[in-house]
Structure 1
Amino acid sequence: MAINSDIVSIRQGASAFDETNVLNETGHKNMLHLIHLRWLAVGGQIATILVATWGFGIQLPLFNMLAVMVCLIAFNIGSHLRWHEERVVSNRELFLAMLVDIASLTAQLYFTGGINNPFVFLFLLQVILSAVLLRAESTWLVVAITTLCLAFLSIVNKPLVWPLNSTYKLADLYATGLVICFVLNAALLVIFITRIGRNLRAGDAALASLRQRAAEEEHIVRMGLLASGAAHELGTPLATMSVVLGDWKRMPQFSKDPAMLEEIEEIEGQLLRCKSIVSGILLSAGETRGESSSKTSLNEFFESLVEEWESSRPAQYFEYTNSIDEEFTVAFDSTVKQMVFNVLDNALEVSPNWLRFEVSKNQEQLFLTVADQGPGFRADILEQVGTPYNSSKGRPGGGLGLFLVMNVARTLGGTLTVNNRKEGGAEVVIALPLNAMILQENKSP
């Protein structure tokens, strides 16, 4: 039981690790959005300085404003270089980045009239972004800091020097500035809040998918433990039956009866098959019965797999195609075989008259395709392929076959694709990474 609890703990740890990666990826994308927004801020400041200086003749402290802008540009370049390589972004780092933006805005407003500058309402943009990007305590801290900045600018600032011969009224320019500030705030909020919201929704969807996967894997662990326990329990009666059948074969009343001997040998054959199934269950659970994975060629493995499956199933017409010409040395365990058997068995159940199994590959993946001439999958079943108990057969416990196959394929780094054929019937394609299965001796140095 200690081993079983360790397995569950490892899976829980891996799930937590995956969730952390998703959160980090979301934070990284949000940091990139802030960097893009900062470049827009730099462009907006340059445009505002040019319009105010050349268009309205307002005297601005250009040296001080350009110094602030150069510092902001240097910070943004450094941020871009750092976060291009670093993928983990914490709430604290997002908060510090926003503080730099607030400090830059405060400095520019200080040199351009303080709270009398209509662009002072850009502080609202920082507050709204913090509410979306940061934790609650950090957001309230941003509210407090921006409030202090506004209070500071209302007391301490450098008044704008208005040209004496100006034909523009100050009130009209202030109203125009308010309109421009509103348009900027509205446009930037729509653009970036939409992007950030999409990013957060994608992160939430990824987290939900990971949690669903963790629940499915826990379900598989429990099924594996149940199967392993059942296999252990079956071992003793199977061994007893084998001994009894051996004794029967030596008994005179049976050894002299050819018909009875034939039936006993048939039972022994089925008993050996039961033992093989039990061994496969234990091997899949990581508890071998003196058997282990052995090196074989890719084509030889599938030839043996097809021969074993076909000899024990009542398929009327079974078509096997292998389009792989090269010979690769592989070391498959029984998991891959059981996965293919599961798909073939499901196809045989709905299409006993015709079945096709095709093995092919490209440069990166191995493709195992099973096609049948059954009724195919309903649309609602196709939408939820790979979820447990998702079956159209209507029997208790149904729908676990493809669920197990999908999780085994995913564990091996592959994928499962299910669709309906135009000719009728269904097609299941298992794609597995080729490089992960070929032994190193095949790969060029």
Structure 2
Amino acid sequence: MTSSRSLLAQALDRPGVRVRTLVQLRWAAIAGQLATLLIVGLLLGFPIPWPSALAAVGASISLNLGLAWLYRRRDRLEGASALLHLAFDLAQLSVLLFLTGGLANPFALLLLVPVTISATLLSARATALLVAGALGLLVILWQWSLPLPWRGVPLELPDMYRVALLIAIALGMVFLSLYAWQVSAEARRRQAALVATQAALERESRMAALGSLAAAAAHELGGPLGTITLVARDLESALGNDPDFGADIHLLNQEARRSRDILAGIAERAEAEDPFPFLPLPALLHEVVEPFEPTRVPVTIGVMWEPGGGPAVRRSPELLHGLNNLLSNALRHARSAVRLEAGEDSADFWVAITDDGHGFDPALLPRLGEPFLGPSWSGSGSTGLGIFIATTLLERTGARLSFANMSQGGARVELRWERAHIEGESRMAAE
């Protein structure tokens, strides 16, 4: 789990952007810029500094053609490379705005686009650098620019209005970048956590399938080994007393019989361990606790059914791994005791895991079950990824989870399954 978490953290720090995505976005910007210049300059007849404006657009076209030539479509740009490309787009747009009125140009609002793209695709540090550069260019455009293309006397906006434009665009730039980065970072964290959940489930499924694979291997090897045993017996009958080869033939026959006994034992154990049997819930709780014994904190189990009683539940990888994660978390934070309880009421079957530790942080209690709560949400360096994985896996079994702090101290995690769901699975298995 630790190595998976570190790899996910690295992936979150450097999301990057595909060259194909960057090229497509820039082509869309180039098309919009050319269309705007042609409409304003030719159709509406406003004066445009054509050589300089076309040179600025041509620079973007040249860069895009160079990217398409140097990179494959699936290549990614990360870190400084992606930041430089977005900074170029910001500077190129600023040049066009400088040539056509600065902040008085209605298209000055497009300065928000590069920083918003950076917030959704790049790291927080890269986005902060780009926002700082964008604010600097914004101040330059506010202070210096060529007149806005206009028929007759050039349009002069009041100074107060120009200041308001500067403040409005700057605030919009900062707010949009923060909002877009937060939303995209949350999406990346959840996707990374789901990948970790799937990896944990696959590991648990592979472990559960080892029994079936062992049984299949034993059956497949039984045929060739039977032939070897038969040949060894014939050789022992014919040459068992030979002074040169008798001892080797006896050893060969003995090892063949031993191999058959080993394969027979593997097959019996594997067939007895169905990967997904139905077990009474108390028996499954004992199986969950067994890998943690002995431990510094004793784990006690209390159920309301008589021995051998309780609902039959599917021994699935999701249920085992989810309960293991929750029990491991309780043991890590408990002072002297952890308890597993199980029972039923008229509507549900339930399991509760309690410990006598410090309990959950009240500020984060409503968010438990979300991925990557922070670097040390529990005071132990944990990020909450384990509880997210457990919650996701257990919800696949139909469980509803709730987290709470007990009045006498310590934490309590409760899982509930609808009776109809558990009993329906048991009936389907019996049929």
Q: Normalising to structure 2: TM-score of the pair?
A: 0.43
